[in-house]
Amino acid sequence: MATFVLVHGGGHGGWCYKPVTDRLRAAGHLVHAPSLTGLGERAHLLDASIDLDTHVTDIASLIEVEDLTDVILVGHSYGGMVITGAADRVGGRIGNVVYLDAANPTDGQSLVDVAGPMMLMARSMGEVRNGIELVLIPERTPAQFYGLTDPEQIAWMQAKLSPHPWACFEQPLVLRDPAALARVPQSHIVCTSTLATRDVEALRLASEGRFWDIDTGHDLMLTEPDKVTECLLEVAAWVEDRKGQR
């Protein structure tokens, strides 16, 4: 049995992983799909203090409090920032970090640094509410921003999206031990449409070949849950083999 922690991206919540979570659990695995503070079913906790560090702490604390080990830590989109920070804090508990069409930052980078044009577009559609600068406001953000085209899927998603604090995207990620983080194994699952913006050979090398591209929209855990699950199960098999070699 593998242990998965699935971290969502901007404006989403743990709900977005339901199709993948159902499949992984049906295969006998332990799955956590938490919502980050201020988002999803935790939207009522939104306040001006929430930033990237808040969300890194969310995930690192979950892993520690639940005493999870050999975790397959998956992050989608902005979630790539979060899992990188969490793996830096609890790397000894991580079996593999999986970047799911996600930001893959280095020390000192923010999401604005990693994905500037998209973030500036998101900010242009934002607003200030109760002193908090918010972006990815559901009623202002077209479904195409997330790569969804099916009307039923769009309606299901739109009802669950939450505004996201801009501070999360602007705050740089500060690593405690970049050298140790570099030793944590990683995998990459990306959308074919984003390949042109990535150094594919570097990612293949960093992931030792655990690299897949899926021809679908950005929210690939919703549009292609079977393929995403297949990739994650391959990662789980690799982690299990690695455990047996210790």
> Is the separation of the CB atoms in 214 and 191 below 8 Å?
yes
Nearest to 188 by CA among 52, 60, 84: 84
The residue annotated as part of the active site, out of 77, 162, 187, 207, is 77
162 is catalytic: no
Q: How far apart are CA 168 and CA 101, in angstroms?
A: 18
What are the φ/ψ torsions at residue 27 (nearest 5 degrees)? -85, 0
Nearest to 175 by CA among 106, 110, 112: 106
What are the φ/ψ torsions at residue 103 (nearest 5 degrees)? -65, 140
Q: Which residues are catalytic?
A: 77
